[in-house]
Amino acid sequence: MTTTTHTTEKTTTFTTDCISDSMVKQKRVYYNAAPLNIPWKRRRQMLSIIIWLSMSLSMAALFLTYWTHPVMFPLAIIYMSWILLDRAPETGGRRIQWVREWSLWTFIAEYFPIKVIKEQDLDPKNNYLFGYHPHGILAFGAVSLFVTEGSGFSKLFPGIIPRLMTLSTNFRIPFYRELLLSMGFCSASRSSCESALKSGPGQSIAIVIGGAEEALTSCPGTNKLVLKRRLGFIRLAIRQQASLVPVFSFGESNLYDQYSVAKGSTIGRIQSFMKKWFGISAPLFYGRGIFNYDFGLIPYRRPVVIIVGKPISVPKMEEGQIEPSKEQILDVQAQYIKELTAIYDNYKDIYAKDRQQDLQIIA
């Protein structure tokens, strides 16, 4: 069964399952070219997406050119040493508000577009841990909301300083790491999360809870969450007395299609290896192209609506208690899942009319 929804670019079909190998052979090959008379505003949005997606590779390539010039070679050695010694990813990053306010981020948010709805104001005297769901393929909504002003976070939540936690390997990419740090990205390690939450009132972190495992399940028309066995963020919140804020993004899973891969296949084993040893997913995804609507690495131009839920207070640990008890963790988890599910149920008939499945917590 399929459901068709109309967009400004083309007719989009959401299927119940992601595309399997057998389905690929049956697909009709065609080329739906983008027209030449695209308004400048939309071209500017597309260019912004291209710039963001290409930054890591272009900056790494720029650094490699240093090794080909004798004059620049010593600088490259010094910079590599700096990368190894710099502790900023573990100590809150180097947020630069001017970078977060680049027009680039506004154009990216307008591309989909991304819209944010808050259910409650947040007290800047407190600290918060935002849990973002679902991961999707590249978590565009999380990037737009927490590490740029493209979605207007500072206006929505004045006094709250968010940081988005990501894999420490991202801070090994020359030059690109400096951009990430200036935006507000930090390492997802325990010490980094604790450092950020301890740094003062309003200092908060955001974690895309499902991670690499959830990215491999991303499929348009569905929302499959890896949540039940994710207890580390709850333990962290209790230990640091940070209120938990569930965040659900309608449309994040619709931005890319993904080929379904059997677990026992060669590609499936490669994906498992990458996830286990490097913490990254390697989904076989595709979206649209720069000059066509049918195939490429550009996300589809589909709306994303992010609901920022109400904060959940966490219990205090007793004197002398080093870690929260299992009962405390499970109790908070139950409250968190209840609130997240309520967000989905309250808004699904508005922002997920074309869903093929309701919210599923698969692990």
Pairing state between β 203-208 and 128-133: parallel
**Greatest C-alpha distance within the chain:** 68
Asked whether the beta carbons of 211 and 257 are under 8 A apart, the reply is no
Q: How far is it, in rounded angstroms, from Cα 258 to Cα 280?
A: 16
Question: What are the residues facing 292 on neighbouring strands?
Answer: 33
pLDDT tens-place string over residues 308-338:
999 999 999 988 888 999 999 999 999 999 9
**CA-closest candidate to residue 277, choices 362, 214, 212:** 212
Question: What are the residues facing 165 on neighbouring strands?
Answer: 186
**CA-closest candidate to residue 242, choices 201, 211, 208:** 201
Position with higher pLDDT, 320 vs 250: 250
Q: How far is it, in rounded angstroms, from Cα 230 to Cα 215?
A: 15
* Identity of the amino acid at 118: K
Global pTM value = 0.91
For residue 38 the two structure tokens come to 């695209």
For the chain, the average pLDDT equals 90
Local structure of residue 147 (DSSP, 8 states): S
pLDDT tens-place string over residues 82-135:
999 999 999 999 999 999 999 999 999 999 999 999 999 999 999 999 999 999
Asked whether the beta carbons of 262 and 103 are under 8 A apart, the reply is no
Q: How far is it, in rounded angstroms, from Cα 171 to Cα 192?
A: 13
For residue 126 the two structure tokens come to 């407190």
Question: What are the residues facing 304 on neighbouring strands?
Answer: 114
**CA-closest candidate to residue 253, choices 147, 110, 355:** 355
Pairing state between β 304-308 and 114-118: parallel
